[in-house]
Structure 1
Amino acid sequence: MRAFIGIPFSDDAIDMIDDIKNQIVKHTTKSRTTLKKNYHLTLLFLGEIDLVEQRLIEQELKFIENISAFNLTINHLGSFDRNHEKIVWLGIEESEPLKKLQKRIVEKINNMGYKFPNHFKAHITLSRETVFHESFHLDSIKVEPKNVIIDKVHLYESHRVNNELTYTPIKTYSLRSKVQI
């Protein structure tokens, strides 16, 4: 199975993310957008793993349940260039708790014999293969900062259901003590 470790968002955060994506799509000639149900923040993409690896990874990630919930702020748009197209994303304000969590996950998984690099750019992918109208500039869309509580991490399976890309949580880790914004 194709798997990754990521952070899900609350329904109100998902609505905000989707509203911004919909604003962007109006200014494209081409894009392959992320489905509303698939918004997440990837902490580590694992690729293909088997059931034995899955079970071992699930055990290694139990430490997450001893980490306190924390806040993140979604606050800006950006893009990565890929050939003549873009991957458009929503960015996260710098967060020490997020960086520490992601780094610890990579260390735990690498201690199992994997060799994942630790170059992490926190973002929420809105669209891939995106081509904008010539006169459009991404910075013309303003992002109202949105504080979100991070209180869960999922081990996800990435698969197709009825030919639609779907991210299904296969194991959930709840962080300790939900914080208030």
Structure 2
Amino acid sequence: MPRLFTGLEIPPDLGFALSLKRGGLTGARWIDPENYHITLRFIGDIDAQTANDVVDSLDRLSNSLRFLVRLTHLGSFGGDKPRALFAGVEPSEALSRLQSAQERVLQRAGLEPEGRRFVPHVTLARLRGTSAEELARFIAEAAMFEPLSFVPARFVLYSSRESTGGGPYVVEETYPLSS
């Protein structure tokens, strides 16, 4: 299997609303709306047996409860050398619980612990050569960010090919969330 990660899909209507933020930022490689997602756990390149263990392990979490996800602001990663523009997710205990549960079962399946702190977000663009000042101006001009909300019905196991940012992503498995 190719490179794997788990995530939440962004509904098409929210993807369209987020796509309206596209344009006007030097050095931005905009992500296609159909590839918008919230990464829960990056898994990486693994062998077929480990991939099967991952699928089985995640299946145990399909009884997790549904919850509200709110996208509330624009932000960036990279500080003085910005590398990504994102829509930030409001902190949620339920989202954190789902992500932590995935982390636990994936470690039991033999994966190394995730090295980065969980910061839920939807990447809108990968940046190269964008100055921090230009990005700050872009975010300030796009400041009218009406919060966007949805209740995910499932989480998914995605695969991707190594590429220059932003997909295409393929849904390999789906795991329903309970009402």
TM-score norm. by structure 2 comes to: 0.87
Per-residue CA deviations over 1:6-25 (Å, capped at 9, x if unaligned) read: 110211111112112x1xx2
In 2, are the aligned partners of 1:77 and 1:139 still within 8 Å (CA)? no
The 5-angstrom pairing of residues 150-169 of structure 1 reads: 150-159=152-161, 165-169=167-171
Q: What is the RMSD of the two structures over their aligned residues, measured on CA atoms?
A: 2.1
- Give 2:121's aligned residue: 123
Q: 2:13 maps to which residue?
A: 12
Give per-residue Cα distances to partners, 1:116-138, cap 9 Å, x unaligned.
23610001001112515748241
Q: Give the drift of 1:165.
A: 3.2
* Amino acid corresponding to residue 124 of structure 1 in structure 2: V
Q: Distance in 2 between matches of 1:139 and 1:82?
A: 16
d(CA) in 2 for partners of 1:84 and 1:121? 19
Aligned residues of 1:91 and 1:122 also touching (Cα < 8 A): yes
1:39 corresponds in structure 2 to 36
State the AA in 2 paired with 1:123: H
Cα separation, partners in 2 of 1:4 and 1:29, compared to 1, 3 Å:
same
Q: Aligned residue for 1:108?
A: 105
**What's the counterpart of residue 171 of structure 1?**
173
1:13 alignment partner, SS class? helix
**Structure 2 stretches lacking a partner, 5+ long:** none
Question: 2:43 corresponds to which letter in structure 1?
Answer: L
Instruction: Give the drift of 1:63.
Output: 2.3
SS of residue in 2 equivalent to 1:170: strand
Once residues 137 and 126 of structure 1 are traced to their aligned partners in structure 2, the CA distance between those partners, rounded to angstroms, is 13
Aligned residue identity for 1:38: N
Identity %: 27
Q: TM-score, normalised by structure 1?
A: 0.86
On the 8 A contact 1:160/1:166 being kept in 2, the answer is no
Unpaired runs of at least 5, structure 1 = none
**What SS is found at the alignment partner of 2:113?**
coil
> 1:92-122 CA distances to partner (integer Å, 9 max, x unpaired)?
1110100000011001101122222361000
1:149 counterpart (140, 148, 151) = 151
How far 1:82 sits from its partner (Å)? 6.5
66, 75, 78: which one pairs with 2:75? Answer: 78
Q: Size of the alignment, in residue pairs?
A: 171
Conserved in 2, the CA contact under 8 Å of 1:75 and 1:146? yes
For residue 95 of structure 1, the aligned residue among 92, 97, 106 is 92
Distance 1:106 1:139 in 2: 35
Give the equivalent residue in structure 2 for 1:63.
60
